[in-house]
Amino acid sequence: GASAVVIYNKPGEKGPVSGTVTKPSRLPIVGPTYELGVDLVKAAKKKDGLRLRVKTDTVHGTTSSANVVADTERGDPGNVVVAGAHLDSVPAGPGINDNGTGAAVLLAIAGKIRELGKTGLRNRVRFAWWGAEEEGLRGSTHYVKSLPAAEREKIALNVNLDMLGSPNGIRAVYDGDNSTGGGTPAPAGSGAIEKMFRDYFKGRRLPVAESEFNGRSDYGPFIEKGIPSGGVATGAEGVKTAAEAKLFGGRAGKAYDPCYHAKCDRVQNVNLKLLDSNADGVAHVLQHLAETTVAVNG
C-alpha cells in the first residue's frame, strides 16, 4: 500500500503549491528529491509557475527510486514537450558530469520558463528528473509505460539531457534522422529536433558531431513508443578521434570523459565552456518547442 505525502514542504508543513508524492511503504527512496522539490517550489511560487508531481514507484532491487515531474501551468495540455534528465549516478562516483550537468541545466531552464510569458508558452512543458537511469533506464521506462495511452498521446516529443560537459568532450547532436543500431526506428520528427539543435549551433559558429540514436539514455523508452526525441551529449567512454580533436580541441586518443562512471566524476570533471554552450542550445530548442505551433510529429 502506498501513502500520499507532501515532499516539498518540511514534513507536516503546508505550502503554497499543491501536489503529492506517492511514497512506497517499505523501501527507502534514493536521491536528492526533497532538495530538488524545494528548488522547484521556489520556481513555482512565481507567476506562471510549475506544478510539481513526484512518482516514487520505480522499485529496483532493495531500493526504490523517484521521478520528479513538474509541468508548466500554461500551455496546451494536449501538446506536451517533455524535457528530461536523469538525477541518479552510479554508486562508484558522484556523477557530476553524468548527470549533474543535465539535471542542473534542466533545473535552470525550469526556473526561467515563466519568462516566456503568456504568448510564449503555447505548448505545455513538462520537466522530468528521472531516477534509476543507471539501473537500466528504469525511471523513464516506468514513466512511459505507466502512462495511460491517452496521456502518452499528448506527449509531442522528448528532449533528453545527459552528459553535457565531458572534459574532453565533443558536441554530439542526437542523430534523429537515422534509424538506431538497436533496432528501434527513429520516430518521424526526431530529425526535425536534430535540425533545431544543428541550426542553433550553426548560428553560433559552434561545431557539431553526431551521436548515435541508439536509445542508450532516457529518450529510449520514448522512441520505443514512437515519440520523437532529441538532444545533445558530449561523450562518455568513447575515445576522441584526431578529426574530432581538430574540430573541438582536446586530446585525440583519450576518452571524452576519462572519469565516466568513476570516482573522479567531480565538479572539476566538467568542461564549463562546453556545458555553457550546450545549456544555451537546449534552452533555445526548448523555448522554440514551447512557442511553436508546428508539430514535429506531423
**Catalytic machinery residues:** 133
Q: Which of residues 196-255 bind Zn ion (CB under 5 A)?
A: none
Q: Which stretch binds ligand PHE (CB under 6 A): 182-190, 211-219, 271-279, 283-291?
A: 211-219
Q: Which stretch binds ligand PHE (CB under 6 A): 20-28, 195-203, 209-217, 281-289?
A: 209-217
Work out which of 177, 212, 280, 291 binds Zn ion, going by CB under 5 A. Answer: 177
SS3 165: coil
- Compute the least distance from the CB of residue 24 to ligand PHE, in Å: 24
The amino acid that residue 168 corresponds to is N
Residues 72, 80: Cα–Cα separation, whole Å:
10
Per DSSP, what are the bridge partners of residue 155? 80
Sign of CA dihedral 273, 276, 281, 282: positive
Residue 180 within binding range of Zn ion, rule CB under 5 A: no
- Compute the least distance from the CB of residue 168 to ligand PHE, in Å: 15
Work out which of 71, 175, 257, 265 binds Zn ion, going by CB under 5 A. Answer: 175
- 233 is in the binding site of which of Zn ion, ligand PHE, none (Cβ under 5 to 8 A by kind)? ligand PHE
Task: Determine the Cα angle at 76 with ends 122 and 111, to 5°.
Answer: 65
Q: Find out whether 159 and 193 touch, Cβ atoms under 8 Å.
A: yes
Residue closer to ligand PHE (CB basis): 64 or 229: 229
Residues 96, 89: Cα–Cα separation, whole Å:
8
- 291 is in the binding site of which of Zn ion, ligand PHE, none (Cβ under 5 to 8 A by kind)? none
Instruction: With residue 211 as reference, give the H or E element that holds it.
Output: strand 209-211
- Number of continuous H segments (helices) and E segments (strands) in the chain: 9, 11
Q: Which of residues 135-194 bind ligand PHE (CB under 6 A)?
A: 162-163
Phi/psi zone of residue 117: left (φ > 0), alpha (ψ -120 to 50 degrees), beta?
left
x-or-dash string of contact with ligand PHE, 222-241, rule CB under 6 A? -----------x--x-----
- 216 is in the binding site of which of Zn ion, ligand PHE, none (Cβ under 5 to 8 A by kind)? ligand PHE
Binding site for Zn ion (CB under 5 A): 98-99, 162, 175, 177
